[in-house]
Amino acid sequence: MFGYESVRNKEGDSKYGGGVEVDLEGGEGAALYPGLSHGENILRWAFIRKVYGILTAQILLTTVVSAATFFYSPINDLLRGNSGLLLLFCILPFVLLWPLHMYHQKHPVNLIILGLFTVSLSLPVAVSCANTDGRIVLEALILTSAVVCGLTGYTFWASKKGKDFSFLGPILFTSLFVLILTSFMQMFFPLGPTSVAVYGGISAVVFCGYIVYDTDNLIKRFTYDDYILASATLYLDILNLFITILRVLRQADS
């Protein structure tokens, strides 16, 4: 797994004076951050590729669910007309967080739970997209893709230069807690259009910070067995950023 045998052979060649060819384009020679050994660098790159492979599958699954809801109106009508069912899919991801954490190292149970977790999150998002103008959804998708790619590339570049983003953890957690508390307060004290726009902008900044923070954890701190947790964390960051941008654009359009 993750090429352990390959790492041992390459380290053995280096130990006995053999020349080791390093393929920078293959993701094995570019050091992720200063002080990382060659063997660990290979394993870490393999881990990162695996996480992003799972993350891509999650995003594709969400896209398929959203497209089916958008183009097949009976699904949208069923979810919109049955508030209890829609509420169930909103609560289910929180319920699945416990087994996802407990069995994240147990294959293939971890992948099954992750799939259910992804679908349960995709359905409410799909309903939101299906009831929004297609132009706004496309704009939100493009903006989210650009921001995620830019922040991911920046974090990899900054880590290679020795920068560390672990200090963002407490700041982001506190900010997220305030955002959740504010969203509950809106149920009793609705915000005006300007306050909603400001709230959306702050939310987008917080989730951008989480993308940087969790990508930094992916590079340096997640263990090789935490690929399910790492992909679920990044998926939540991207999905929340997309929903926030979608709401801001929808509010601006209306």
Q: What is the pLDDT of residue 139?
A: 92
Please list, residue by residue across 113-126, b when 16 or more beta carbons sit within 10 angstroms of its beta carbon and e when fewer do.
bbebbbbbbbbbbb
What is d(CA 218, CA 27) in angstroms, rounded to the nearest whole number?
A: 15
Largest CA distance in the chain: 71
Is residue 166 within 8 A of residue 218, CB to CB? The reply is no
Q: What is the pLDDT of residue 152?
A: 96
Can you read off the two tokens belonging to residue 186? 């809106």
pTM: 0.83
Is residue 175 within 8 A of residue 235, CB to CB? The reply is no
Is residue 100 within 8 A of residue 110, CB to CB? The reply is yes
Reply yes or no: is the peptide bond before residue 34 cis, omega within 30 of 0. Answer: no
- Assess whether pLDDT exceeds 90 at residue 60: yes
Is residue 54 within 8 A of residue 228, CB to CB? The reply is yes
What is d(CA 237, CA 242) in angstroms, rounded to the nearest whole number?
A: 9
- Could you read off the pLDDT of 135-164 as tens digits, one per residue? 898 999 999 999 999 999 999 999 999 999
Q: What is the pLDDT of residue 16?
A: 36
What is d(CA 105, CA 114) in angstroms, rounded to the nearest whole number?
A: 12
DSSP 191: P
- Could you read off the pLDDT of 13-38 as tens digits, one per residue? 433 344 334 343 444 557 888 888 88
DSSP 17: T
If one compares 170 and 17, the residue with the highest pLDDT of the two is 170
Residue 88 carries which side chain, given as an amino acid letter?
A: L
Is residue 246 within 8 A of residue 139, CB to CB? The reply is no
Count the helix, strand and coil residues of the chain and give each as a percent rounded to the nearest 5. Answer: 80, 0, 20
Give the burial class of 83: count Cβ atoms within 10 A of its Cβ; 0-12 exposed, 13-18 middle, 19 or more buried: exposed
Q: What is the pLDDT of residue 173?
A: 95
What is d(CA 29, CA 43) in angstroms, rounded to the nearest whole number?
A: 11
CA atoms within 13 A on the CB side of 204: 19
Helices (H) and strands (E) in the chain, counts: 9, 0
